Structure 1
Amino acid sequence: MNKKYLTILSGNPRGGERTWESLYENVLDALNSDLAICTGDKWLKNQSFLDIAKFNWVIDEPNDWTTYYEDNFDGTWKEFFLRGMDTGLYSSGLIHFALKDIILKNFSNEILNYDFIIYSRFDQFYLSKHKYFDSEEIWVPEGEDYFGLCDRHAIVPVRYIKQYLNICSYVDSSSALNLKADNLNCEVVYLNQLKDNGLFNYVKRYDRTQFTSALKNDFTNWRIPKYKIYFFGKLMIKYPDEYISSFESISQKKEIIFSKYYLLYINYLYLKIRRIFGKIKKIGT
């Protein structure tokens, strides 16, 4: 009997083993999900997910990702990406969108054996058991939209997955080129792709219980982590607001306090206190 869920991790492997252990426990085990990874060959160093994944979609990563678009598209993709030189669209979106296209064109047969696809990244740290979804909506965590729609994690019914992954055809189209946006970043493009193909009508949100992690020396094409998680090895936070909201969404905080993640909860309290004092200081000045 086939499993209902397939979790796909796409991009550079960031966050380290503690982050991936949270995935194994709170996503794969909780949902009885298979795992697929899609990443470049130069990032692999005997990580645990290589043994756990059912599908290892390892690609020969190009030094310049524009060559992928030159070989596969002949529209206005280049002009479109150049509009996002300062927003992460060119440096990061160029790669993430191409990975979606690679998965779509090469691994659809494997994907279509499942009912739901969790499309995510390597750097998501899960604080509690992933919510179980069994409906025809596309579920996205609350927050981190940046004038568009958070593109770090989504649960997609398999009936929509080909349209969902087909973002490169959108960025190569006149619809994308005519898009009016002051801040043309990855989230804005993702939102408008889903609007363009009609999938946004199925998008629903759920409370966030995960945050974006990193190790100090992790390679990144966009934002560098600056916030250390104290007493938890070398793990760092990329987005403090996301970290705080992830804890505030957990209804049973006692589960965190008395779990192996209690040090993460202490860091959450520390960040909250810092913010309170920061607001008091502003009022005083």
Structure 2
Amino acid sequence: MMMDDVTLANNITVAEQRSVVCMIGTLRAVDLTYQNLIEKVIQPLNADLMFCVSRMTSEDETTINKFRSCNIVDICIYEEAGDGYQDFLHGFFNQLTPEKRTEWHKYFDIEGNWLGGIKGRRGSGFHLNFNYWKLLDRLRFKNIGSEYQRFVITRTDLFWMVEHPPLNLLDSNLIWIPTGENYNGYNDRHAVCSTQNVYDYLSLLEFMLNFKALEYIYNNLDENNLNHERHLKSHLDYCGVEVATFKNVAYLTGDKQTLTNWAPVKTKYVDRVEYAYKYQEELLSSLENMAQFAIHKSWNKMIFEGDRRSN
């Protein structure tokens, strides 16, 4: 194509791109967040909705029904979580040669929450990798991936103080994440991907299963310790994917009944308003950025594409 034709094609792609919000993990805090998620994320992005979550209770289907006003294109509630995903790993190990089993155990030699959820490790790193892998499989199996150009990968216990940044402001060549909560890696709470990079974002476990992760993972250790945020960064760096950020305007919430793998839910009064939160810095930064947004009335000064910041 001539240059003008390329430009026109890109403009058409931007104008007509379809988006889907992908809820992963478990259905936490939905009673507190569902209306907020609809009003601040799903509706402003004119997005369809899909769920790829592991079962928490027998009421999960009823919980999802709270989003009945949205266009739900797929629901996958899987039970493979089992006993710390040991059933899944047991089946995988049975297919390996003795040499490959020895090679796989190089992962277990690395301490840290990046494998949280298996072998008694604290945290949810392996849970999250498994969630990504299940979503990737679902996008392939249902051929959902071919229907959309943008994928908003998020969780149900995020409470948004400001409407999600418009996708036309977020370069589709980059993966977009909120600022903060990076722990020397990349914030793994929320991501905006595109057809160009959604596979890269979701393939952490796939790269472990095919042993490609051994090519880069040992280069990102901190005294033989690895967290999920650094694992995510090392993986995307290896894949050659650039990451940009927008100012965080959401925080993890819950109540006393909300199950958690790491931080418990706490409460705090800020300007005489009580907030239920899991991470104080995340809450305070979202409040600060909400105030900044109220001044600018625009996302243009709250996104950081040029310097690809992750802090």
Deviation track 1:80-105 (CA, whole Å, cap 9, x = no partner) reads 245235x3632211111112112212
Amino acid at match of 2:139: F
Structure 1 vs Structure 2 CA RMSD: 2.8
Q: Which residue of 1 aligns with 2:153?
A: 119
Query: Which is worse superposed, 47-56 or 20-29?
Result: 47-56
Question: Offset of 1:216 from its aligned partner?
Answer: 1.3
Following superposition, the deviation at residue 244 of structure 1 comes to 0.8
After superposition, give the CA deviation of every residue in 1:90-127 in whole Å (9 maximum; x if it has no partner): 22111111121122123221122111000111111111
Q: 1:65 aligns with which of 72, 85, 107?
A: 85
Contact 1:11 1:39 in 2 (8 A): yes
Instruction: Tell me if the contact between 1:210 and 1:243 (Cα under 8 Å) persists in the aligned partners.
Output: yes
CA contact (8 A) 2:38 2:67 kept: no
8 Å CA contact 1:81–1:90 kept in 2: the answer is no
Counterpart in 1 of 2:132? 100
Aligned sequence identity (%): 23
Give me the TM-score of the superposition, normalised by structure 2: 0.72
Name the counterpart of 1:184.
226
Change (3 A) 1:186 1:143: same
Q: 1:177 to 1:21 in 2, by over 3 A?
A: same
The Cα offsets for residues 106-155 of structure 1, whole Å up to 9 and x where unpaired, read as 32211221110001111111111110123222111111101111011010
TM-score, normalised on structure 1? 0.78
2:19, 2:280 → 1: CA distance?
A: 30
Larger mean Cα displacement after TM superposition, 240-249 or 15-24? 15-24
**2:200 corresponds to which of 142, 146, 163:** 163
The amino acid across from 1:211 in the alignment is Y
Q: Is the 8 A contact 1:88 1:222 kept in 2?
A: no
Q: Are positions 1:197 and 2:239 aligned together?
A: yes
For the residue of structure 1 that corresponds to 2:262, the secondary structure is coil
Q: Shift of residue 57 of structure 1?
A: 1.1
Instruction: Give the CA deviation at 1:15.
Output: 2.1
Match of 2:74 in 1: 55
Q: Which residue of 1 aligns with 2:57?
A: 43
SS at match of 1:139: strand
**Shift, 1:232, TM fit:** 7.6
- In the superposition, relative to structure 1, how do residues 114 and 237 fare at CA in structure 2: closer, same or farther (>3 Å)? same
Paired residues in the alignment total 252
One-letter code of the match for 2:285?
Answer: S
Structure 2, gaps ≥5 residues long: 1-15, 118-123, 297-311
Structure 1: runs of 5 or more not aligned: 256-285
Q: 2:152 aligns to what SS in structure 1? A: strand
- Tell whether the 8 Å contact from 2:42 to 2:49 is kept in structure 1 after alignment: yes
Is 1:8–2:22 an aligned residue pair?
yes
